[in-house]
Amino acid sequence: MEDKQRKPLYSQVEEYLYRLICSNLKKGKNKIPSEHLLAQQFNVSRITSKRAINNLVDKGYLVRVKGSGTFINTELDENLLEKLRVYDEIPSSPLSLKNKKTVAMIIPDIKSRYMMNLVDGVQHLATKNGWNVILAVTMYDQILEELLIKKLLLSADALIIFPVNKNTYNQEIIKLSLQQFPLAVIDNVLRGVETSTITSNNRKAAYNATNYFLKKNKKHIAVITHPLDSAISLQERYIGYESALSDEKVPIYKNYILHDLKHYDENTSNKILKFLDENKEIDAILAFNYELGIKTINTVLENTTRLTTDDIIVFDEEFSEIYNLLKVKIKYVQQDAYTIGITAFQVILDQINSPNYLTQHVTIDTKLFV
């Protein structure tokens, strides 16, 4: 099966014609479908179907009759008949070249369980529906992201993307949206651009996490995050954090927000320690992603501070499967990445199967483990 899928399109049409000739000779039928009908059956261009027919005409299996169509050569010699015997039966229906569609999935990295679970979700539903999945990684490079989109569109029927820049889409994504190409965007909602999106309910997650600390009588809750303007998800978490404080009439201190941290920066731990030293009244911390959460926990464990790991909640956990083995128990928010992946592919199917499809904005609930 895999070998067939790698054959050129015209070659696959040829194979079908060989089987058709073999079958029709037994039935006493001579005429074969027109170029137009073959192109429709196989979802290929007429140039492709014409090439396949011409090849069989040149080999002597078919003859064209002007004004009447194309027919099987009824005077096939023994050599040609012998070659036909390998095609001893015809499939009940033409082999559709488009039966195995492909969805391209573009993500910023493959280092975390979150990303792996995301891919697993897409792969599960795609495979169940007979689709192939192509995976590409941008390493947080938006220029590479644009190049990958252009390249993958040459072979993909749909695209699922976790954008590098969460505050603005690159021009290629906007073009796809305008062209109504089957597209699902994960972890981002950009106002004014009509694309279907799937995100965690980040606002609610941060609200609940903040509220947990407030109920513990903690009033000086800090946030450690990458730049808030780099991702809608971070902005939504910050809104949830502020809302929880406001609802309890707790002051919002801007100096409790550390938000100038970059992905995988070697100086991050030093910046976190400096931040905690300058704000010794902080009694709880929300770390808005796993990388920063682990660095915050290590900073607290390795230095003399008033804080303990009980005072930290980490988003985007990576350790639930080994939680019972950990010496230090960590409080965390768990996103359902697997369901996000499944939902993203279902959105793709909905777009393809519905002629009147409207964009969807789906939020998936999280869980707080404390």
C-beta separation of 368 from 208 below 8 A: yes
C-beta separation of 145 from 152 below 8 A: no
Residue at 349 is within a domain: yes
66 pLDDT above the threshold of 90: no
- pTM, whole model, 2 decimals? 0.68
Q: Please give the Cα distance from 320 to 12 (Å, whole number).
A: 48
Please indicate whether residue 360 or residue 206 has the higher confidence score (pLDDT): 206
- Give me the mean pLDDT over the 167-196 stretch: 78
Q: What is the mean pLDDT of the chain?
A: 85
Residue at 327 is within a domain: yes
- Give me the mean pLDDT over the 326-339 stretch: 85
Question: 218 and 326: one domain?
Answer: yes
- Give me the mean pLDDT over the 226-255 stretch: 93
The pLDDT value given to residue 168: 61
The pLDDT value given to residue 71: 92
Residue at 113 is within a domain: yes
Q: For 337-351, what is each residue's pLDDT tens digit?
A: 999 999 999 999 998
Question: 72 and 150: one domain?
Answer: no
Quote the percentage of the chain above a pLDDT of 90: 44
The pLDDT value given to residue 167: 59
Question: 172 and 207: one domain?
Answer: no
Q: Which domain holds residue 32?
A: 2-84
Please indicate whether residue 6 or residue 56 has the higher confidence score (pLDDT): 56
Question: 292 and 330: one domain?
Answer: yes
Q: Please give the Cα distance from 146 to 164 (Å, whole number).
A: 10
The pLDDT value given to residue 322: 52
Question: 44 and 139: one domain?
Answer: no
Question: 209 and 323: one domain?
Answer: yes
Question: 313 and 355: one domain?
Answer: no
Q: Which of 115, 149, 15, 6 is nearest to 344 (CA)?
A: 115
Q: For 286-324, what is each residue's pLDDT tens digit?
A: 999 888 998 999 899 888 678 999 999 999 766 655 555
The pLDDT value given to residue 195: 85
Q: Which of 61, 48, 58, 47 is nearest to 17 (CA)?
A: 61
Q: Which of 84, 114, 147 represents a domain boundary (last residue)?
A: 84
Question: 33 and 137: one domain?
Answer: no
Task: Provide the pLDDT confidence category of residue 169 given band limits of 50, 70 and 90.
Answer: low
Residue at 368 is within a domain: no
Name the domain count of the chain.
Answer: 3
The H-or-E segment that residue 239 falls in is helix 232-247
The pLDDT value given to residue 238: 97
Please indicate whether residue 280 or residue 8 has the higher confidence score (pLDDT): 280
Residue at 369 is within a domain: no
How far does CA 204 lie from the centroid of its chain?
Answer: 24
The pLDDT value given to residue 323: 53
The pLDDT value given to residue 2: 38
C-beta separation of 101 from 131 below 8 A: yes
165 pLDDT above the threshold of 80: no
Residue at 92 is within a domain: no
The pLDDT value given to residue 75: 87
Residue at 97 is within a domain: no
Question: 193 and 211: one domain?
Answer: no
Question: 295 and 225: one domain?
Answer: yes
Q: Please give the Cα distance from 114 to 334 (Å, whole number).
A: 9
Question: 59 and 144: one domain?
Answer: no
How far CA 220 is from CA of 14, 36, 105, 250, in Å, comes to 73, 72, 41, 9
Residue 150 tokens, joined: 């252009």
Q: For 69-119, what is each residue's pLDDT tens digit?
A: 899 988 888 888 888 876 754 443 444 444 578 999 999 988 788 888 999
The pLDDT value given to residue 353: 84
What CATH code is carried by the domain that includes residue 41?
1.10.10.10
Residue at 249 is within a domain: yes
Q: For 202-240, what is each residue's pLDDT tens digit?
A: 999 999 999 999 999 999 999 999 998 878 889 999 999
Quote the percentage of the chain above a pLDDT of 70: 86
Task: Provide the pLDDT confidence category of residue 336 given band limits of 50, 70 and 90.
Answer: very high
Please indicate whether residue 113 or residue 284 has the higher confidence score (pLDDT): 284
Question: 330 and 248: one domain?
Answer: yes
Q: For 266-280, what is each residue's pLDDT tens digit?
A: 889 999 999 999 999
What CATH code is carried by the domain that includes residue 226?
3.40.50.2300
Q: Please give the Cα distance from 290 to 26 (Å, whole number).
A: 67
